[in-house]
Structure 1
Amino acid sequence: MSRRPVLALALMLSCQMMLMLDATVVNIALPDIGRDLGFSSAGLSWVLNAYSLAFGGLLLIGGRVGDLVGRRRTLIVGVLAFTAASLLGGLADSAGALLAARAAQGAAAALTAPSTLALIATAFGEGRERDRALGLFTSMAAAGSAIGMILGGVLTEAGSWRWTLFINVPVGLFVAALLPVAVAETPRRRAPGRGGVRFDFAGALTGTAGVTALVYAFIRAADHGWGDPPVAWTLVAAALLLPVFLLVERRVRQPVVPLELFAVRDRVIAYAAMLLVPAAMFGVFYFDTQYFQSVRHYSPLRAGLAFLPLAVGIFAASALAGRLLARHGLKKVAGAGLALCVAGVLWQSALSAGSGYWTALFVPLALNGFGVGLVFMPLSALILTGVRPGEAGAASGMMQTMQQVGGALGLSALVTVYGGAVRADGGAGPHAMAQGFSAGLLAAAAFMAAALALVLLSRVGIRVGPAR
């Protein structure tokens, strides 16, 4: 990968931070966006959902495109497309224009994110060097969402919601300009016995349609409930398409997702944990943001800064994760991180309308941040260990698909729990909302506990076998 290793890694980290920021940077700006562009209360959620749906739905294709046509080429195209979509979103003068720009951002992110991680995986050999690089990368991935909350509050209060999108333009242009200087192109993956690249169009179509249907069903269920007919129909579509996708992948020479990635038991466990941890954390972001603004009536700037202990905890843990991993192994480090996350989310579940920030949120947010900072790097290393260089993009794309699907699934389920608790408490006022947040966070702690149980069942304290 690297012509200039330090610069190349810095560019990869900048890409990842930009993509993760955009998943949350507009959260705190949503009230201002709604007023300026005339969104309905229901339609406003699609400013977030359009990005998540396109990102999650297209990751399988994005991961394989880099393997087949060259990861640097794919990354440059993705970054430029993301930059252009951000500019158009910041200039949007209608709700439809902004939603189209957010969907385009998500599609570009799906092209960019897998190649970013795959370039790191193939550039650094397994061991301490890769662990250090993955530690930095995953700290950016994990902290990006929290920093997005902080930055969104600062930009909205200091200027306009439009700057939450414009901020990507100089960063994207800078990264795209330096990538050819710092990163060498990877070889194209060619079909055995043939002169050109073969792309699995049947797998891409069924996989993308199936994952998109699944993510859409979870997103819509969060707003309309599980009894909504479109939710039921899209779940049926996903249930039909995804098995067809697996059948296609078993038959083609160069599948979008090589099924041999799932031949290693501990890698499957890591994928499952990567589904469950975002399922919990998306709920924490959502409930805490609503609590700060709707119950505590914080300004956008204050609400954003309230997430600072989460971001600081992630960076602090990520700085230690590599050394801890070398000394104690994947299982102990990931297990300790998940135990801290369970404790932090359980602590937050004691929220009430009168809870103080310093006693009920500051410490548990720091615990969550430190725990997440310890979790993602070991799980990423476990997923990428033993993966052949030509499969690194597919392995990365599947990991990030798990994160996006997990986040959509978790938020939908947790919002359903929240709604039930609010209705049981009378359905109005700060007290009912706080009861709903408490119930939702308790369910999020259950997701974290399930991830912890899976990691404790793994055998990664010994070794991780290669994909066969």
Structure 2
Amino acid sequence: MAISDRGSAPPTSGRRSLALLTILSAQFMLAMDLLIVVVALPRIQVDLDFSPAALTWVLNAFGLSFGGLLLLGGRLGDMLGQVRTFRAGIAVFVLASLVGGLAETSGILVAARVFQGIGAAMAGPSVLALVLAMSRNATEQARGMSLFIAVSSVGASAGLILGGVLTEYVSWRWSLLINVPVGAMVVAVIGRLVAETHPKEAKLDIVGAITATLGSVAIVYGFISAAENGWSSAATILSFAAGALLFVAFVRSAGRHPQPLLDLDLLRDRPRLGGLAVMALIVGMHFSVLFTLAQYLQQVLGYTPLIAGLACLPLTATVFGISQVVPRLIGQFGTRALLISGSLLVSASLLGFALLGDAGAYFPAVLIPLLVHAVGIALVFAPGTVAIMEGVPVDHAGAASGLLQMDQQIGGALGIAVITAIYTLAVEPGRYVSGLPAAFGAGAAIAFVAAIIAWRAFRPRTATRPVAGYPIAKTS
């Protein structure tokens, strides 16, 4: 794919850079959105009269629709054109953000979050597909992939920081309204900067689309229900059972359909499956750290939303900085070594967080494990993305990107559900920190399992064939 030149002159490097900046600005906005409202939840509860149980749906409504529709969104991009699908998704996301930011009732806010998730599921998979498709050579693809991974990695923690600033100095509503000017700018200019990809003439796998969407929703809801109602509740068990049955139906449909929603051949690659497993587990532990730490900083250390958000700044800065050198590390040490090392560092950081107490101070009790955690996830996210996307044909890049993001979304829901459930069982009434050792200790064990998976799934030094740090997608 090429940047639209609107004339006979060849596209300039400046125009390509502007196109990349525009696409990645949208990705940063989407990556922030799940957690940008976390530090604002207490004020949202008061302003819109949420019950404690209903308040979780400010997060869950977005997570359900986003996670449930990612595979479909990715396939639509491949079929209809990535630019067209991307622009439509951002438009839906912007409109929903406006409605949510102006909401006067809890029901309107939750509904707006649902539509934010729908828009994000349409636009998100096209981001990586466009980054790959618009690159003219291996060097440009490596640069684009590196920036995509860095932006995606820091987005969630940056959301906590920005959410804290906006909640403290303006209003929690601007956690949503800030998307409007950014998204409107993206919708207005993207068609002028990037030429449409070649739509793939295909018949949509309707059965696959329905089963994949409902199956993803059921699995994500199962994790949400586990955190709220327990793993043995009827809602949790039925959700997981329904999800399993729907995914079996999805696989059967994909095996029979000439142009399935997801090419099952992509799942027959051992390193790709290993990358999916490691990413799901580590993203889950990362989200559980952000979710729990935001509450610890406010409830135990007494931080304001602003200070709690700024306390995550070292995490954001470290991840972004290390992400810039990871391409060279992949070329030097290979994907396997980085995934193992990163997973072990995440495990060590969780053991550090397990030591947090009532009398703890930010330094060293929070900052040291936070920095270790940042290094760990930076060493996992880039190699994991490489392992999942390596060798994917260009006309399946949208579906593969949707698979990657669905993996991260379900992993995040799983991590928060598991850590929250363990915390709830272990906590003593009136002592917030009493449940942290068990919860974070279990998280450390999960991250260690991710290291074992990385060790077994990848052959030493041959797990990837890096070109300038990152592999190039197949063109046929």
- Judging changes above 3 Å, is the alpha-carbon distance between structure 1 residues 94 and 12 closer, same or farther for their aligned structure 2 residues? same
- What runs of 5+ residues in structure 1 fail to find an aligned partner? 191-196
1:384 corresponds in structure 2 to: 389
1:429 corresponds in structure 2 to: 430
CA–CA distance in 1 between the matches of 2:56 and 2:102? Answer: 19
2:306 corresponds in structure 1 to: 301
- What runs of 5+ residues in structure 2 fail to find an aligned partner? 4-14, 466-472
- Judging changes above 3 Å, is the alpha-carbon distance between structure 1 residues 2 and 448 closer, same or farther for their aligned structure 2 residues? farther
Q: Is the CA contact 2:334–2:463 (under 8 Å) kept in the aligned structure 1?
A: no
Match of 1:58 among 58, 69, 94: 69
2:438 corresponds in structure 1 to: 439
Q: Is the CA contact 1:142–1:314 (under 8 Å) kept in the aligned structure 2?
A: yes
Match of 1:266 among 264, 267, 271: 271
1:304-333 Cα offsets, whole Å, 9 max, x none, are 111111101111111111222222222223
The answer on 1:139 being equivalent to 2:140 is: no
1:136-162 Cα offsets, whole Å, 9 max, x none, are 111111111101001111000101110
Percent identity of paired positions between Structure 1 and Structure 2: 41
1:164-205 Cα offsets, whole Å, 9 max, x none, are 001000100111111112111111112xxxxxx311111000
1:12 corresponds in structure 2 to: 23
CA–CA distance in 1 between the matches of 2:208 and 2:320? Answer: 38
**Displacement of 1:296:** 1.5
2:469 corresponds in structure 1 to: none
CA–CA distance in 2 between the matches of 1:412 and 1:76? Answer: 33
- Within 5 A, what are the aligned runs for 1:255-334? 255-334=260-339
1:114-134 Cα offsets, whole Å, 9 max, x none, are 010111123337855433322
CA–CA distance in 2 between the matches of 1:460 and 1:204? Answer: 37
1:461 corresponds in structure 2 to: 461
- Judging changes above 3 Å, is the alpha-carbon distance between structure 1 residues 261 and 41 closer, same or farther for their aligned structure 2 residues? same
Letter in 1 for 2:121: A
CA–CA distance in 2 between the matches of 1:272 and 1:292? Answer: 30
Q: Is the CA contact 2:40–2:172 (under 8 Å) kept in the aligned structure 1?
A: yes
Match of 1:342 among 339, 347, 359: 347
- Within 5 A, what are the aligned runs for 1:15-26? 15-26=26-37
Q: Is the CA contact 2:94–2:179 (under 8 Å) kept in the aligned structure 1?
A: yes
The answer on 1:79 being equivalent to 2:90 is: yes
CA–CA distance in 2 between the matches of 1:92 and 1:333? Answer: 45
**Displacement of 1:464:** 4.2
CA–CA distance in 1 between the matches of 2:371 and 2:117? Answer: 29
**Displacement of 1:79:** 0.7
Q: Is the CA contact 1:121–1:384 (under 8 Å) kept in the aligned structure 2?
A: no
CA–CA distance in 1 between the matches of 2:58 and 2:326? Answer: 34
- Judging changes above 3 Å, is the alpha-carbon distance between structure 1 residues 377 and 131 closer, same or farther for their aligned structure 2 residues? farther
CA–CA distance in 2 between the matches of 1:80 and 1:373? Answer: 31
CA–CA distance in 2 between the matches of 1:172 and 1:79? Answer: 6
- Judging changes above 3 Å, is the alpha-carbon distance between structure 1 residues 260 and 82 closer, same or farther for their aligned structure 2 residues? same
Higher mean Cα deviation, 78-87 or 439-448? 439-448
Letter in 2 for 1:381: V
**Displacement of 1:286:** 1.5
**Displacement of 1:274:** 1.6
Letter in 2 for 1:122: A
CA–CA distance in 2 between the matches of 1:122 and 1:378? Answer: 20
TM-score scaled to structure 2, two decimals? 0.93
**Displacement of 1:336:** 2.7
Higher mean Cα deviation, 380-389 or 59-68? 380-389
CA–CA distance in 2 between the matches of 1:260 and 1:9? Answer: 30
- Judging changes above 3 Å, is the alpha-carbon distance between structure 1 residues 333 and 347 closer, same or farther for their aligned structure 2 residues? same
Match of 2:199 among 188, 210, 214: 188
Match of 2:118 among 107, 111, 126: 107
Letter in 1 for 2:95: A
TM-score scaled to structure 1, two decimals? 0.94
- Within 5 A, what are the aligned runs for 1:118-197? 118-124=129-135, 127-190=138-201, 197=202
- Within 5 A, what are the aligned runs for 1:27-42? 27-42=38-53
1:451 corresponds in structure 2 to: 450
**Displacement of 1:224:** 1.3
Q: Is the CA contact 1:386–1:464 (under 8 Å) kept in the aligned structure 2?
A: no
3-state SS of paired residue (1:296):
coil
Match of 2:401 among 370, 384, 396: 396
**Displacement of 1:227:** 2.6
Q: Number of aligned pairs?
A: 456
Letter in 1 for 2:452: A
CA–CA distance in 2 between the matches of 1:47 and 1:302? Answer: 22
**Displacement of 1:51:** 0.5
CA–CA distance in 2 between the matches of 1:373 and 1:382? Answer: 15
